[in-house]
């Protein structure tokens, strides 16, 4: 065991964590802890693009981008934060280019842009080309570029260190407790500021575009420390995952002209979204696919539809969507230039998360009271710029804009204060947890409980929800949590004990599944990705507000609410 001391500790090495680390390390002694090698982070999976109103192909303005984001969020996004994001987008994308990011280029040599769902010209008139891209591997390029810059600037990395707890005392965060995967040692990291950038929790669901390692550790840890989670009922289902596998087929396919078709060959999106059609926002398209399936128009009567790109031509596909073509060949044995791709909605992105202000500071109540020393950025955070539904390409943007802001603010904060003393036994709860999981002799298995939870979440807390389904989910999750106490693992060793870590990750997933189901049951309206069949309308009078869910000491939950910040755009009916 050792104790390390850093001014700023960044937990997570995806786009958000690396951006925060680059900025924090300019003026503060900074270390990055990551349970994966940084380049394994799921930011590398992002395909389609990062949005910024550069206007490289046609007229565009950040105000249009802000409007689209607000409307896309079904008016739940905080408009002050959205304005910051869309304004800073231009400068941050240029900064990435200056760091060497290899964007695709226009004939004049500028950054190339493509259309994406919900991004429009002049407040909703027609799609606009706003997504800056590098083929269909934009996230890979962002992750690589940021990691390369971290190497260049000698940022300290602790790779394969899994954080299991935070040190929070008297409303101040003072560090983290990490498990060194290789050795099984538990280390204390004493810090002045901690930035959580641990990504999402798609692994709560059975069909997901998310990595096996996206288990929401950061969100679950703060929840147990009494920090609320915001808007957890809003989880995005991306309309086009590979049938049964969930692997993502980027919206960029539709951006390039791909079309969704049912078993009759109909372009059914024309009925659901006359203006934007296949480029409507994700919540709209995912619901449309489910409606088609429900009305018997899935392919072969099954639960999928076709994404047709055959008319784009082989050259365009190989050039603009090479990785998608590769996935289709590898996993489906089909050639997308010849055959349509079987797709179904896949659990994709957490709009909700740890509440923060626009500088990444974690806040603990409706009055925006900060928890000193604790920051969050990226998918784990809820600023909230995505509200009830995120537009494609806005997450990569969120990572770099708010990762940067969090890094700058955390370093400035750290430079103003002294290290706060931490207790000698700060790691005690973690040691107990690890020992209990390692030695407990029960008759339950991690994989079985996880699979049951994932299926339950898919069926009951998916695209369409009802009181009945959600109530059942809440009850069953309670049972699963009870059973999970009786898990027994087989690996009792210290070296690279993933058996142990998977059990701890399951506890995190179960907590997040539970708060998701509870928040969804609580919100009796339909808005964005949260679609209640028993409350099909948006209800601004009662529900134009953010949910905060708190866990009490006794394990029960309590709700509170936070007003939505509205600056320019008053809520209107949302038609596309």
Partner 1 sequence: MKVKLRIKRFNPEKDKEPWWGEYDVEMDPTDRVLDALHYVKWHIDGTLTLRRSCGHGICGSDAMRINGVNRLACKVLLRDVAPVVTVEPILGLPVIKDLVVDMEPFMAQYRSVMPYFVNDEPPPPRERLQSPEERAVFDDTTKCILCACCTTSCPSFWARGEYVGPAAIVQAHRFIFDSRDRAAAQRLEILNEPDGIWRCRTVYNCTNACPREIKITEAIAEVKKALLFSRL
Parallel/antiparallel/unpaired status of strands 30-34 and 156-159: parallel
Q: Are 282 and 248 in contact (CB under 8 A)?
A: no
34 binds partner 1 per the rule CB under 8 A = no
* Closest CB to partner 1 among residues 72, 139: 139
538 catalytically annotated: no
Window 190-219: residues binding partner 1 (CB under 8 A): 211-213
Q: Contacting partner 1 (CB under 8 A), which of 30, 39, 69, 262?
A: 39
Parallel/antiparallel/unpaired status of strands 3-11 and 464-465: unpaired
Given ligand FAD, partner 1, none, residue 197, with its beta carbon under 5 to 8 Å by kind, binds ligand FAD
* Closest CB to partner 1 among residues 41, 531: 41
248 binds ligand FAD per the rule CB under 6 A = yes
Part of the chain binding ligand FAD (CB under 6 A), chosen from 46-54, 75-83, 181-189, 521-529: 46-54
Q: Are 378 and 15 in contact (CB under 8 A)?
A: yes
Name the burial class of residue 472, with classes exposed (0-12), middle (13-18) and buried (19+) by CB atoms within 10 angstroms of its CB. middle
Window 235-254: residues binding partner 1 (CB under 8 A): 245, 247
34 binds ligand FAD per the rule CB under 6 A = yes
CA-based angle 435:438:443, to the nearest 5?
130
Closest CA to 286 of 537, 529, 76: 529
Q: How far is the CB of 524 from partner 1 (least distance, A)?
A: 36
Q: Contacting partner 1 (CB under 8 A), which of 109, 296, 301, 573?
A: 109
Q: How far is the CB of 278 from partner 1 (least distance, A)?
A: 23
Q: Contacting ligand FAD (CB under 6 A), which of 120, 188, 384, 394?
A: 394
Coil, strand or helix at 575: coil
Q: Supply the DSSP string of 53-93, one letter for each residue.
A: ---SSS---HHHHHHHHHHHTTT-S-HHHHHHHHHHHHHHH
Q: How far is the CB of 490 from partner 1 (least distance, A)?
A: 3
Q: How far is the CB of 184 from ligand FAD (least distance, A)?
A: 15
440 binds partner 1 per the rule CB under 8 A = no
Q: Contacting ligand FAD (CB under 6 A), which of 113, 395, 430, 497?
A: 395
Q: Supply the DSSP string of 408-445, one letter for each residue.
A: HHHHHHHHHSPPPP--TTTTHHHHHHHHHHHH---SB-
Given ligand FAD, partner 1, none, residue 498, with its beta carbon under 5 to 8 Å by kind, binds partner 1
Q: Are 52 and 128 in contact (CB under 8 A)?
A: no
The span from the CA of 559 to the CA of 518, in Å, is 10
The answer for residues whose C-beta is within 8 angstroms of residue 303's C-beta and 6 or more apart is 243, 293, 344
| Residue carrying the six token digits 């027994």 | 488
Q: Contacting partner 1 (CB under 8 A), which of 126, 151, 417, 575?
A: 151
Q: How far is the CB of 563 from ligand FAD (least distance, A)?
A: 26
162 binds ligand FAD per the rule CB under 6 A = yes
Q: Contacting ligand FAD (CB under 6 A), which of 45, 181, 195, 223?
A: 45
CA-based angle 260:266:268, to the nearest 5?
60
The span from the CA of 316 to the CA of 133, in Å, is 15
Window 443-462: residues binding partner 1 (CB under 8 A): 445-447
Given ligand FAD, partner 1, none, residue 399, with its beta carbon under 5 to 8 Å by kind, binds ligand FAD
Whole-number CA gyration radius for the chain: 22
Q: Annotation-wise, does 34 bind a ligand?
A: yes
The span from the CA of 240 to the CA of 238, in Å, is 6
Q: How far is the CB of 407 from partner 1 (least distance, A)?
A: 18
Q: Contacting ligand FAD (CB under 6 A), which of 9, 10, 11, 191?
A: 11
The span from the CA of 397 to the CA of 242, in Å, is 25
266 binds partner 1 per the rule CB under 8 A = no
36 binds partner 1 per the rule CB under 8 A = yes
- The residues pairing with 535 across neighbouring beta strands, listed in sequence order, are 532
The span from the CA of 71 to the CA of 575, in Å, is 9
Instruction: Find out whether the peptide bond into 415 is cis, omega within 30 degrees of 0.
Output: no
Given ligand FAD, partner 1, none, residue 13, with its beta carbon under 5 to 8 Å by kind, binds ligand FAD
191 binds ligand FAD per the rule CB under 6 A = no
Q: List contacts with partner 1 (CB under 8 A).
A: 36-37, 39-42, 44-45, 94, 97-100, 102-111, 134-135, 137, 140-141, 144-145, 148-149, 151-152, 182, 211-213, 245, 247, 323, 326-327, 330-331, 333, 445-447, 489-491, 493-499
Catalytic residue list: 282
Q: List contacts with ligand FAD (CB under 6 A).
A: 11-17, 33-36, 38, 41-43, 45-50, 138-139, 162-163, 197-199, 209-210, 214, 217, 248, 250, 348-349, 378-380, 392-396, 399
């Amino acid at each position: 065991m050792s104790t390390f001391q850093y001014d700023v500790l960044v937990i997570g090495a995806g786009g958000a964590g690396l951006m925060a680390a680059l900025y924090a390390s300019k003026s503060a002694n900074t270390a990055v802890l990551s349970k994966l090698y940084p380049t394994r982070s799921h930011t590398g999976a992002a395909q389609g693009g990062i949005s910024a109103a550069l206007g490289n192909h046609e007229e565009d303005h950040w105000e249009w981008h802000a409007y689209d984001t607000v409307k896309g969020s079904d008016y739940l996004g905080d408009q002050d934060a959205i304005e910051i994001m869309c304004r800073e987008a231009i400068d941050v994308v240029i900064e990435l280019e200056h760091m060497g990011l290899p964007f695709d280029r226009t004939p004049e040599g500028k950054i190339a842009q493509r259309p994406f769902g919900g991004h429009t010209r002049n407040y909703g008139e027609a799609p606009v080309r706003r997504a800056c891209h590098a083929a269909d591997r934009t996230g890979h390029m962002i992750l690589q570029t940021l990691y390369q810059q971290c190497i260049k600037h000698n940022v300290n990395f602790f790779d394969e260190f899994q954080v299991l707890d935070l040190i929070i005392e008297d409303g101040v965060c003072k560090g983290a407790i990490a498990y060194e995967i290789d050795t099984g040692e538990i280390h204390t990291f004493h810090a002045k500021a901690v930035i959580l950038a641990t990504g999402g929790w798609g692994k709560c669901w059975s069909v997901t575009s998310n990595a096996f390692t996206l288990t929401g550790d950061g969100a679950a840890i703060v929840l147990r420390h009494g920090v609320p989670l915001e808007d957890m009922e809003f989880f995005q289902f991306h309309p086009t995952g590979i049938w049964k596998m969930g692997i993502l087929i980027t919206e960029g396919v539709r951006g390039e002209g791909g079309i969704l078709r049912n078993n009759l060959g109909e372009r059914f999106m024309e009925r659901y979204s006359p203006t934007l059609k296949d480029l409507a926002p994700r919540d709209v398209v995912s619901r449309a696919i489910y409606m088609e399936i429900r009305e018997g128009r899935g392919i072969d009567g099954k639960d999928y539809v076709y994404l047709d790109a055959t008319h784009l031509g082989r050259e365009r596909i190989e050039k603009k969507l090479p990785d998608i073509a590769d996935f289709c060949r590898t996993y489906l044995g089909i050639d997308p230039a010849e055959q349509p791709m079987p797709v179904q909605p896949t659990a994709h992105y957490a709009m909700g998360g740890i509440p923060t202000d626009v500088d990444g500071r974690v806040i603990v109540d409706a009055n925006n009271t900060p928890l000193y020393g604790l920051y969050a950025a990226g998918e784990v955070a809820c600023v909230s710029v995505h509200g009830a539904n995120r537009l494609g390409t806005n997450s990569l943007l969120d990572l770099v804009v708010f990762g940067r802001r969090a890094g700058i603010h955390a370093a400035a904060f750290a430079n103003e204060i002294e290290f706060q003393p931490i207790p000698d036994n700060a790691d005690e709860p973690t040691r107990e947890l690890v020992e209990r999981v390692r030695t407990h002799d029960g008759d339950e298995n991690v994989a079985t409980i996880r699979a049951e939870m994932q299926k339950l979440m898919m069926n009951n807390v998916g695209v369409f929800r009802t009181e009945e389904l959600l109530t059942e989910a809440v009850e069953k999750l309670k049972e699963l949590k009870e059973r999970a106490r009786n898990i027994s693992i087989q690996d009792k060793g210290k070296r690279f004990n993933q058996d142990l870590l998977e059990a701890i990750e399951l506890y995190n997933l179960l907590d997040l599944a539970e708060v998701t189901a509870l928040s969804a049951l609580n919100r009796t309206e339909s808005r964005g990705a949260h679609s209640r069949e028993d409350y099909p309308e948006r209800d601004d009078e009662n529900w134009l507000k953010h949910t905060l869910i708190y866990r009490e000491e006794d394990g029960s939950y309590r709700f509170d609410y936070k007003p939505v910040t509205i600056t320019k755009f008053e809520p209107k009916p949302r038609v596309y």
